[in-house]
């Protein structure tokens, strides 16, 4: 049973990843990434990481992907030109990707970690549930927790700064004014 679930989820994750790379329309790429993230959540459940799986589904596949869909819908779907500026890029890149995979596999499987070939030790029933993660996060990893909260605050401020419309001396600049009226955004701030 566990093997069947693993291979189904692994196929989903791999197919989603390949879909992200190959889809020409970014909207389909985002949908493929959602498939990938759900399959990864199944893998996390198989690894008895219930809280990480729940956070993956709710935060990643829910919130972050909605943000992507909004931006893809705003920017428009396909901007990628057909010609290749770097000759042979499409042939060299898969080669380098395969080389990276071989190198990573050699680095991990060639290490002398004996526990790699096992299923891992037997764990107590509450392994990886929200209580255990929360206790670790608020006691042992309190500094990382606070640092990540500051990082989130900085990202929010940065997004506001980046997305703000530039105006010189209070009037809307000519370049952005027609676009603003077209979207129905009121020009007063």
Partner 1 sequence: MNIEWYIVLSSLLFAVGAMGILIRRSPIVILLCLELMLNAGNLALVAFSRMVGNEEGQVFAVIVMVVAACEVVIGLGLIVALYRRKLPLDVDELRTLRG
CB of 184 to partner 1, least distance (A): 16
Q: Find the binding residues for partner 1 in span 73-102 (CB under 8 A).
A: 74-75, 79-81, 85-86, 89-90, 92-94, 96-98, 100-101
- The Cα 48–Cα 40 span in angstroms is 13
6 binds partner 1 (CB under 8 A): yes
DSSP 66-105: HHHHHHHHHH-S----SS-SSTTHHHHHHHHHHHHHHHHH
From 40, 30, 31, 37, select the one nearest 9 (Cα to Cα). Answer: 40
- Residues in contact with partner 1, total (CB under 8 A)? 89
Rounded to whole angstroms, the maximal C-alpha distance in the chain is 67
CB of 122 to partner 1, least distance (A): 8
Q: Find the binding residues for partner 1 in span 143-172 (CB under 8 A).
A: 144-145, 148, 151-152, 154-156, 158-159, 162-163, 165
115 binds partner 1 (CB under 8 A): yes
Token pair of 113 as six digits: 């970690």
181 binds partner 1 (CB under 8 A): no
């Amino acid at each position: 049973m566990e093997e069947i679930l693993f291979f189904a989820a692994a196929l989903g994750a791999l197919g989603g990843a390949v879909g992200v790379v190959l889809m020409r329309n970014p909207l389909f790429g985002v949908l493929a990434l959602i498939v990938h993230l759900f399959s990864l959540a199944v893998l996390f459940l198989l690894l008895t990481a219930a809280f990480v799986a729940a956070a993956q589904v709710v935060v990643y596949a829910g919130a972050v992907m909605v943000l992507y869909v909004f931006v893809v819908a705003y920017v428009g779907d396909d901007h990628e030109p057909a010609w290749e500026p770097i000759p042979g890029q499409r042939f060299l890149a898969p080669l380098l990707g395969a080389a990276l995979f071989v190198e990573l596999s050699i680095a991990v499987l060639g290490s002398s970690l004996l526990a790699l070939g096992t299923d891992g030790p037997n764990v107590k029933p509450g392994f990886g549930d929200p209580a255990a993660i929360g206790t670790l996060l608020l006691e042992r990893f309190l500094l990382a927790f606070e640092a990540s909260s500051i990082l989130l605050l900085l990202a929010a401020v940065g997004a506001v700064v980046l997305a703000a419309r530039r105006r010189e001396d209070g009037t809307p600049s000519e370049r952005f004014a027609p676009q603003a009226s077209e979207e129905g955004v009121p020009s007063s701030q």
